[in-house]
Amino acid sequence: PGGEVDAGAAFVFERSGTSWTFRQKLVASDHQAANRFGTALALDGADLLVGAPGALSTRGAGYVFVAPFP
């Protein structure tokens, strides 16, 4: 995926003590301009739901990532 305007992304960090380490960049499987992927997030244990209100012609969509992330 390349520079689509407002496509969005979510970034995964891991905490160890007081330090945070970048682990991964997540993008929507249908990475499109104006999706605004990452506008909302929900975490359940290590599983992640990422909202994209601009996806599907602005109907919005949620993307589920089951740990360990791809």
| pLDDT band of 3, cuts 50, 70, 90 | low
9 vs 68: CA distance, rounded Å: 17
Res 63 pLDDT > 70: yes
Residue where the block lists tokens 């970034």:
11
The dihedral built from the CA positions of residue 24, 21, 47 and 3, taken in this order, carries a sign that is: negative
User: For 5-19, what is each residue's pLDDT tens digit?
Assistant: 899 999 999 999 999
DSSP H helices, the chain, are 55-58
User: For 31-57, what is each residue's pLDDT tens digit?
Assistant: 889 999 999 999 999 899 999 999 988
Paired strand residues for 25: 11
